[in-house]
Chain A
């Protein structure tokens, strides 16, 4: 048995039946990291020794019955923009290369309360800005399905580590598709929760009104289990919503009879790869066979979503990243004559090109004289996008679209063309603009053997609906088995 190919719920069963121990599990993952990390390069800060030590401690406590919760000793990987007390939190930036967070993000407190084991901090595009993880200051993570291809981004390290079985699951963050698109590229499951379901406290902000932390897992059941851990109101994040606690695993009914699925035709038009389209059409047929009703409709505003997204996200980022000024922490230039130069040189040298591009764009759209034409207009369009989705959810329970217009592309083919890179987000950004939940699950393999992802979008706080829809498809199609048969070439 290869332990690292198991899902978390499978590991939980084997722990319960004493077939496996916590130390065995962690050891298996650490070995797998040692074998594969040189090819995949998913980790910025691996915590192999620390994890093994922690596993032993937890194992002892479990044996003494001091710890009884079912996730104790389960390893996890964390995207490196989530603050971890006493550990480096770099955001894959030179700016924070040596930054050690003085506190834990709220999600980390929850992970720690479960006695889960942090296997390491995972690579990403610098400050979560990008769709390929090529904009990391440290390294380019590779897609485990084809090492010449990108894993997607920005949570590329998280998705690649799960796909390569170096962690059983991971946390990512999603501002415009940064969980779903890499999940799609790496053939795993990625969930972006409703804005406000998961606390953002301790997530290094990219765009505050769009960011959400979410799970990247091997299957839908694991996604529900990890969402159970991280969801919930947090007093430290006033944008997190007070709601009754839900057990999301209870929503997994393997039944979509009567489910109303809307297909926004704008997401199947020009620019969508033919094989992706075909795979999605097959998935639609599967849903029909399983008893769901499917209807095509028009989501009128879809064309404007990408521009709206980049204006709002960059505006907020330009302000959020102001704190990286070389004064209190992070990178400070060695040479400067005065305060202005200290700022200018530290930021010029500390940020990479994509981050600078977005700061400049964001500063521009907020400037006096341009605010009304860009930022204000974008906010108005944002309202229209929300209204369009509201209308759609009057008729449908879930909306089904591709997660990305293509499968994972080759490393180096888009990183010099920002606009083309931005197009990779076209299917995912409107979900963030509207604050909705969406999940990406594998729905096929293309002719070159690369996974294709399907996105299911739900109405606000209807995670249960999309999880059940995704679960039902997964149980009846078993695309996941393909990723389980370790396709990694060495």
Chain B
């Protein structure tokens, strides 16, 4: 049998931290990065006698996410307790939702090679995040930080509708983009505010039954998710091809070795003993409440894309790429407001900026410079103060040391040479050193002009005004 005879089946459980100001059951701040255990109170530390109070914003945000992913909203919902012991879980139960999640039966569309595919969403429910264990930071043992305990999460559970790691990546990007657009989560994967449990199984093409699945928990980068799925699918196929059986288990993905490992903790086959949370009353939502949220839903990527096609005459591909990230798209719109050149802003973002993001393996929301920086750089090119070659260098600099591009070119001495005398000097020097090129040009080889301009740019370290160079070479050559 061959790899091609198998089909990979993937389902994702995406956890997104909601960007509410306060925690889900108390009024502690949700802010990331504070000193350990400073964002805590009797409720989120699970002091005896403390009681949870549901943050209404959490319900609102989850309903927003449900509506933006075409879910039905459950009008009578409730919270449940999921019981298990772990030091990062102070109550020894997580308040979650079991059989009546806030949102059910949704879907999102993903695109690959121009084809659209629908991924079903089984449910979206609200729950609280656990704290964090800091291992070995102060010698032996572990320390518990409960700042994150009680930060609100939504868990978005997909149907097993994905058939490749690319599908999974596209789906996760789509979810991330939607959550960013509706402003319910900042989706910072590097801070763990967006993470996914990945379920993978394989089956022979054409088979009706799903294969046994394995689960990889808490994955928080696109790259590891893709690698982990590819690895795990191959591993499962190999096991089956060798006559083995897949165990339903939780695996740990190791990014360094690029392999999955069994957690081998089956002694603890977890029984979470879910039951309704008696400390909280039922969540009842009126039609009016739901419709009001629907009415006020912000612009979603699809409609923004349409607007880019019509208003800015961008291509389908450009519009799609720009709108994929709300951050990128906002950067585009803000820079556009300042410099007025949609095509130029789009080009810079989609070529050089995206290339650098890829190289650095960072997400658009980690771009360190402002829309104003970018717009100014573009305007400097338009004015002829710098060449686009220098523009690229300015951009690199903006990633390292973001500041006003004018200051950058001043400090670096990158201002374009547009002085006729200076240009002429360079042109004469290059011509003198390259008699062969002159001969080639005269013999009709137009490429020789390009070579000469290139040499002149090299000589001026890219600072010469390329149009002036071009014109002056032509003038001299045609003399």
Name the contact of B48 in the complex, choosing from A83, A236, A316, A327 (C-beta under 8 A). Answer: A83
Binding site for A on B (CB under 8 A): 42, 45-54, 81, 83, 85, 87, 90-93, 144, 271, 273-275, 278-281
Determine the main DSSP class of B at the interface with A. Answer: loop
Contact A328 B273 (CB under 8 A): no
Determine if A319 is an interface residue (Cβ-Cβ < 8 Å): yes
Contact A236 B144 (CB under 8 A): no
With a cutoff of 8 Å between Cβ atoms, the chain B residues found around residue A205 in the complex are 48-49, 279
A326 to chain B, nearest CB (A): 10
Determine if A366 is an interface residue (Cβ-Cβ < 8 Å): yes
Residue of B nearest to A237 (CB): B51
Determine if A89 is an interface residue (Cβ-Cβ < 8 Å): yes
Determine if A103 is an interface residue (Cβ-Cβ < 8 Å): yes
Name the contact of A239 in the complex, choosing from B48, B50, B281 (C-beta under 8 A). Answer: B281
With a cutoff of 8 Å between Cβ atoms, the chain A residues found around residue B275 in the complex are 315-316, 319, 366, 371, 375
With a cutoff of 8 Å between Cβ atoms, the chain B residues found around residue A298 in the complex are none
Contact A323 B81 (CB under 8 A): no
CA distance A196 to B90 in the complex (A): 26
With a cutoff of 8 Å between Cβ atoms, the chain B residues found around residue A316 in the complex are 275, 278
Contact B85 A238 (CB under 8 A): no
Contact B91 A102 (CB under 8 A): no
With a cutoff of 8 Å between Cβ atoms, the chain A residues found around residue B85 in the complex are 322, 325, 343
Name the contact of A102 in the complex, choosing from B47, B90, B92, B144 (C-beta under 8 A). Answer: B47
With a cutoff of 8 Å between Cβ atoms, the chain B residues found around residue A103 in the complex are 42, 47, 50
Contact A236 B278 (CB under 8 A): no
Contact A327 B87 (CB under 8 A): yes
Contact A204 B46 (CB under 8 A): no
With a cutoff of 8 Å between Cβ atoms, the chain A residues found around residue B53 in the complex are 235-238
With a cutoff of 8 Å between Cβ atoms, the chain A residues found around residue B51 in the complex are 200-201, 236-239
Contact A322 B281 (CB under 8 A): no
Contact B273 A363 (CB under 8 A): yes
13 A-B residue pairs with CB within 8 Å: A83-B47, A201-B51, A202-B50, A209-B278, A238-B53, A238-B281, A239-B278, A239-B280, A319-B83, A323-B91, A366-B83, A371-B275, A375-B275
Name the contact of B144 in the complex, choosing from A209, A315, A328, A343 (C-beta under 8 A). Answer: A328
CA distance A239 to B79 in the complex (A): 13
B86 to chain A, nearest CB (A): 8
Interface 1/0 per residue, A183-212 and B, CB below 8 Å? 000000000000000001111110111000
Contact A102 B42 (CB under 8 A): yes
CA distance A205 to B93 in the complex (A): 14
Contact A202 B49 (CB under 8 A): yes
Name the contact of A101 in the complex, choosing from B47, B271, B273, B278 (C-beta under 8 A). Answer: B47
Interface 1/0 per residue, A71-93 and B, CB below 8 Å? 00000000001110000010100
Residue of B nearest to A312 (CB): B278
With a cutoff of 8 Å between Cβ atoms, the chain A residues found around residue B278 in the complex are 207-209, 239, 316
With a cutoff of 8 Å between Cβ atoms, the chain B residues found around residue A367 in the complex are 271, 273
A148 to chain B, nearest CB (A): 33
Determine if A368 is an interface residue (Cβ-Cβ < 8 Å): yes
Interface 1/0 per residue, A229-256 and B, CB below 8 Å? 0000001111100000000000000000
CA distance A328 to B271 in the complex (A): 24
With a cutoff of 8 Å between Cβ atoms, the chain A residues found around residue B52 in the complex are 238
Interface 1/0 per residue, A448-485 and B, CB below 8 Å? 00000000000000000000000000000000000000
Determine if A373 is an interface residue (Cβ-Cβ < 8 Å): no
Question: Quick one: given A238-B280, A328-B144, are A323 and B49 in contact (CB under 8 Å)?
Answer: no
CA distance A368 to B270 in the complex (A): 10
With a cutoff of 8 Å between Cβ atoms, the chain B residues found around residue A102 in the complex are 42, 47
Q: Which of A290-336 contact B (CB under 8 A)?
A: 315-316, 318-319, 322-325, 327-329
Contact B90 A323 (CB under 8 A): yes
CA distance A171 to B53 in the complex (A): 25
Residue of B nearest to A363 (CB): B273
Q: Interface size for chain A: under 10, 10 to 19, 20 to 34, or 35 or more residues?
A: 35 or more
CA distance A192 to B207 in the complex (A): 62
> For B51, B91, B93, which residue has the most chain A Cβ atoms within 10 angstroms?
B51
Contact A204 B271 (CB under 8 A): no
With a cutoff of 8 Å between Cβ atoms, the chain B residues found around residue A323 in the complex are 46, 48, 90-92
Question: Quick one: given A102-B42, A328-B144, A375-B275, are A319 and B49 in contact (CB under 8 Å)?
Answer: no
With a cutoff of 8 Å between Cβ atoms, the chain A residues found around residue B83 in the complex are 318-319, 322, 366
Question: Quick one: given A238-B54, A366-B275, are A101 and B90 in contact (CB under 8 Å)?
Answer: no
Nearest first, the 7 A-B pairs at minimum CB distance are: A322-B92, A208-B278, A209-B278, A366-B273, A204-B48, A202-B49, A323-B46
CA distance A366 to B47 in the complex (A): 24
B94 to chain A, nearest CB (A): 11
Contact A339 B87 (CB under 8 A): yes
Name the contact of A99 in the complex, choosing from B45, B48, B54, B81 (C-beta under 8 A). Answer: B48
Question: Quick one: given A319-B93, A343-B85, are A91 and B48 in contact (CB under 8 Å)?
Answer: yes
B282 to chain A, nearest CB (A): 10
Name the contact of B49 in the complex, choosing from A204, A238, A366 (C-beta under 8 A). Answer: A204
Determine if A411 is an interface residue (Cβ-Cβ < 8 Å): no
Determine if A284 is an interface residue (Cβ-Cβ < 8 Å): no
Contact A203 B49 (CB under 8 A): yes
With a cutoff of 8 Å between Cβ atoms, the chain B residues found around residue A318 in the complex are 83, 273
Contact B93 A322 (CB under 8 A): yes
CA distance A315 to B277 in the complex (A): 11
Residue of A nearest to B88 (CB): A327
B15 to chain A, nearest CB (A): 22
With a cutoff of 8 Å between Cβ atoms, the chain B residues found around residue A236 in the complex are 51, 53
CA distance A486 to B45 in the complex (A): 46
CA distance A375 to B90 in the complex (A): 24
With a cutoff of 8 Å between Cβ atoms, the chain A residues found around residue B93 in the complex are 319, 322
CA distance A89 to B47 in the complex (A): 11
With a cutoff of 8 Å between Cβ atoms, the chain B residues found around residue A325 in the complex are 85, 87, 92
Interface 1/0 per residue, A337-360 and B, CB below 8 Å? 001000100000000000000000
Determine if A105 is an interface residue (Cβ-Cβ < 8 Å): yes
Residue of B nearest to A369 (CB): B271
CA distance A357 to B432 in the complex (A): 100
With a cutoff of 8 Å between Cβ atoms, the chain B residues found around residue A343 in the complex are 85
Determine if A408 is an interface residue (Cβ-Cβ < 8 Å): no
Determine if A96 is an interface residue (Cβ-Cβ < 8 Å): yes
A83 to chain B, nearest CB (A): 5
With a cutoff of 8 Å between Cβ atoms, the chain A residues found around residue B87 in the complex are 325, 327, 339
Contact B90 A328 (CB under 8 A): yes
Question: Quick one: given A236-B51, A323-B48, A327-B144, are A368 and B271 in contact (CB under 8 Å)?
Answer: yes
CA distance A371 to B274 in the complex (A): 9
5 new A-B contacts, CB < 8 A, other than A82-B49, A371-B275, are A89-B48, A201-B49, A208-B278, A328-B46, A366-B274
Residue of A nearest to B45 (CB): A328
CA distance A451 to B104 in the complex (A): 58
B33 to chain A, nearest CB (A): 22
CA distance A205 to B90 in the complex (A): 15
CA distance A323 to B281 in the complex (A): 21
CA distance A197 to B54 in the complex (A): 20
B210 to chain A, nearest CB (A): 22
Residue of A nearest to B267 (CB): A340
Contact B273 A329 (CB under 8 A): no
Residue of B nearest to A322 (CB): B92
Question: Quick one: given A322-B91, A322-B93, A343-B85, are A239 and B46 in contact (CB under 8 Å)?
Answer: no
B14 to chain A, nearest CB (A): 26
A331 to chain B, nearest CB (A): 13
Contact A208 B49 (CB under 8 A): no
A312 to chain B, nearest CB (A): 9
Contact B279 A208 (CB under 8 A): yes
CA distance A208 to B280 in the complex (A): 10
Residue of A nearest to B53 (CB): A238
Name the contact of A319 in the complex, choosing from B45, B90, B273, B281 (C-beta under 8 A). Answer: B273
B98 to chain A, nearest CB (A): 11
CA distance A387 to B288 in the complex (A): 32
With a cutoff of 8 Å between Cβ atoms, the chain B residues found around residue A201 in the complex are 49-51
CA distance A237 to B52 in the complex (A): 7
CA distance A99 to B45 in the complex (A): 14
